Structures are given as structure tokens and as C-alpha cells.
């Protein structure tokens, strides 16, 4: 049998993602009409967060699709305490692992605000034919071979990169096809939007408080206060900044001493997209893609967005 090329492999994974997200998109679009998929599942995930029914549905949908595609040997997701190894002959020979947040922004599900799926694909480092190991999951972001997200917003959109620029595809609900709508996306180098949960401002380090004051002043490059925009769905906040220019910050705060966002399936994939589009992603002190992961649900502080804005924010930190 002919071996697939790397390109063909990634196309198969991408097809799995479009299949699962098209199905999920339909569920989300009708969620208000179907009480059985709205609200809480009644369980708490490993992060101590209450799972929503749609979180669990999304997680299952993606797992089933990756399992069925034959070239993924295991996954890790926000909703599973441990990584999941696909234990069958075909999957054990799969070359790839996928890290994903099945439904980012779950607090927005019941209030009809944009949410998304974030994913990151790595080539396994363990031997083919065996079950994947934790080492496969704990690779630095520089090793990603594909990453992206699906945004369930005013339209459903897939944005991804295989390391050769960023492209966006919009779902045509009439045909169920994702069509190229945003070719070679570039993040503006500067912007006039900042996104941060300012409810936490009194808990932030002094340098960051000074940066936020700078954003609100006329001293910035626009000569006008930036506009604050915070949706509370990382993927939606990120997407706006990708298109219009801006910065998203989730810093260390006392309630989240290591930051709130998860390195493997939130920060790394969006950092990959940001860099591929000419933007920047750091912890405030270090490039996100260079962070060596130590555990599956590791959290990090996150500064991501337009290059000059992230550089400026970092300059305010000690
Ligand atoms: P979920 O994947 O658990 O919904 O995470 C949401 C999130 O990580 C991110 O999307 C938001 O930007 C952030 O949390 C919102 O957190 P705050 O409510 O603390 O601002």
C-alpha cells in the first residue's frame, strides 16, 4: 500500500476537524431550542471547572472523529484528566497526537456569545505501533506541525496554519463546505484594542497596571485611548485582534498564580497562528512556543496579539 505524504496526513486530520466542527456548529446554532444540550453537565473537570453539556458533547465528537481518522494515535483535551491513547491496531500506527480545547469560552454557551474549538497537532516521538506516551503530549509549541481554531461566531470559521502562513475558511451552511475566505492572513503590527479581564486589575503586578493605564491614555501611538474589548472567549478575542490588530492579556493574578490559560491546547496553538501571521505570543517574559511543558494541564500567563503591542506591554514588566 502506498505511504501517505505528510501533506496528505495533515489533510486527513484537517478533514476530521471540519467534519466534527460542522456537526458541532449545527448543534450550537440550534442550542437555544434544545434544552438537553444547554446548561451544566453536573461534573467538574480536572481544572476544577464545572463542565457544560456542550463541552462534553464537543469533546466526544472530536475524540470519535480523531479515533476514526486512523492516523491519530492519541489526544489530550481540557475535558480529560489524562491523555487518551487510541488502543487499536490502526491508531497505534498513527503518526500524530492532537491537543485540543473542544469548546473554549464555555461560560458564554448559555448566553449565545461566540465560542470556539482550538487544536494543535504534533508528530509523535514514541515508536509507531505502540501506545502514545506522555512525552508525545509534552512537546514544546515549536514542534507543532499544524494548529488552528474553529470559531462559532456570526459565521463558523476555520483558521489554521501548517507553518506556511495562516488561512481562514468560512463554513457555507447551505452546502456544509468550508470555503477559503481569508487568504494569507496577517495580524496588523499595531492596533487600538486591548482585551483583558479588568476585574482582576487590582491583583496584577505593578508594571502591567502601568501598561493598562498607558493603553487608556493618549500617550500610545494612536494619540487616543485604546478601546477595551473583552468577550471572555479567548478564541473570539484572539480572532478580533488577528483581523483588526490588538492585544489579549491573561496575566498572573492571585486567584490564578500561574496564569489561567492552558499552555498545550489554548496558548500554544494560538501562539503558532499569531507568529505565522506576524504577531507575537509570550508569557510576558518568554516566547510561548519555547516553554517546555511539564504537565498536561499546565497554565501560563499569556500576552498575545499585534507584535508592537506585545513588545510594548513586555517593556512595562520588570
Ligand atoms: P474554557 O475553555 O474553560 O471555557 O476557558 C475559557 C477561558 O480560558 C478563555 O476562553 C477566556 O478568555 C478565559 O477563560 C476567561 O476567563 P475569566 O472569566 O477569568 O476572564
Confidence of residue 44 (pLDDT cuts 50, 70, 90): confident
Q: Is 244 helix (H, G, I), strand (E, B) or coil?
A: helix
Name the grid cell of 169.
475558511
pTM of the model: 0.94
Q: Which atom of ligand 1 is nearest to the CA of 199?
A: 20
Is the pLDDT score of 36 beyond 70? no
pLDDT tens digit string along 289-310? Answer: 999 999 999 999 999 999 999 9
The residue whose CA has the least distance to atom 16 of ligand 1 is 232
pLDDT tens digit string along 9-28? Answer: 999 999 999 999 999 999 88
CATH T-level fold of 6-182: Fructose-1,6-Bisphosphatase; Chain A, domain 1 (3.30.540)
d(CA 195, CA 233): 11
Average pLDDT, the chain: 93
pLDDT tens digit string along 113-151? Answer: 999 999 999 999 999 999 999 999 999 999 999 999 999
Query: Which string of b and e fits 149-182 if b means at least 16 CB within 10 Å?
Result: bbbbbeebbbbbbbeeebbbbbbeeeeeebeeee
Cβ neighbours, 10 Å, residue 96: 24
CB neighbour list of residue 191: distance below 8 Å, 6 or more residues apart: 226, 241, 244, 245, 246, 247, 305, 306, 309
d(CA 30, CA 34): 7
Instruction: Taking residues 173-181, report their average pLDDT.
Output: 95
The dihedral through the CA atoms of 9, 12, 14, 20 has a sign that is negative
CB of 102 closer than 6 angstroms to any ligand 1 atom: no
Name the grid cell of 89.
491496531
Domain residue extents for the chain: 6-182, 193-317
Report CA(128)–ligand 1 centroid distance (Å): 35
Does domain 193-317 sit in CATH 3.40.50.170? no
| Strand-strand pairing, 96-104 and 84-85 | unpaired
Report CA(235)–ligand 1 centroid distance (Å): 9
The length of the chain in residues reads 318
Is the pLDDT score of 2 beyond 60? no
Q: Is 263 helix (H, G, I), strand (E, B) or coil?
A: helix
Name the grid cell of 294.
511539564
Q: Given ligand 1 and candidates 52, 116, 151, 197, which is best to mutate, with the most ligand atoms within 8 Å of its CB? A: 197
CB 188 within 8 A of CB 244: yes
Amino acid at each position: 500500500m502506498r505511504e501517505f505524504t505528510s501533506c496528505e496526513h495533515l489533510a486527513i486530520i484537517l478533514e476530521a476537524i471540519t467534519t466534527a466542527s460542522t456537526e458541532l456548529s449545527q448543534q450550537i446554532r440550534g442550542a437555544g431550542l434544545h434544552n438537553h444540550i444547554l446548561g451544566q453537565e453536573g461534573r467538574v473537570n480536572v481544572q476544577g471547572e464545572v463542565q457544560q453539556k456542550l463541552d462534553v458533547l464537543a469533546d466526544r465528537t472530536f475524540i470519535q472523529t480523531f479515533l476514526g481518522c486512523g492516523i491519530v494515535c492519541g489526544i489530550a483535551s481540557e475535558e480529560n484528566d489524562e491523555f487518551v491513547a487510541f488502543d487499536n491496531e490502526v491508531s497505534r500506527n498513527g503518526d500524530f497526537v492532537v491537543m485540543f480545547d473542544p469548546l473554549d469560552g464555555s461560560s458564554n454557551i448559555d448566553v449565545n456569545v461566540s465560542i470556539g474549538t482550538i487544536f494543535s497537532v504534533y508528530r509523535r516521538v514514541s515508536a509507531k505501533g505502540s501506545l502514545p506516551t506522555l512525552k508525545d503530549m509534552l512537546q514544546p509549541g515549536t514542534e507543532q506541525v499544524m494548529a488552528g481554531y474553529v470559531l462559532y461566531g456570526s459565521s463558523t470559521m476555520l483558521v489554521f496554519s501548517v507553518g506556511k502562513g495562516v488561512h481562514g475558511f468560512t463554513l457555507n451552511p447551505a452546502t456544509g463546505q468550508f470555503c477559503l475566505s481569508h487568504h494569507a492572513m496577517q495580524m496588523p503590527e499595531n492596533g487600538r484594542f486591548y482585551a483583558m479581564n479588568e476585574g482582576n486589575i487590582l491583583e496584577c503586578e505593578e508594571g502591567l497596571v502601568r501598561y493598562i493605564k498607558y493603553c487608556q491614555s493618549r500617550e500610545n501611538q494612536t494619540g487616543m485611548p485604546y478601546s477595551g474589548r473583552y468577550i471572555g472567549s479567548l478564541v473570539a478575542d484572539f480572532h478580533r485582534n488577528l483581523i483588526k490588530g490588538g492585544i489579549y492579556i491573561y496575566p498572573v493574578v492571585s486567584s490564578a498564580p500561574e496564569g489561567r490559560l492552558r499552555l498545550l491546547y489554548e496558548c500554544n496553538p494560538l501562539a503558532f497562528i499569531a507568529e505565522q501571521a506576524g504577531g507575537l505570543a509570550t508569557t510576558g517574559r518568554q516566547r510561548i512556543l519555547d516553554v517546555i511543558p511539564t504537565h498536561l494541564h499546565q497554565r501560563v500567563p499569556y500576552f498575545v496579539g499585534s507584535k508592537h503591542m506585545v513588545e510594548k506591554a513586555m517593556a512595562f514588566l520588570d
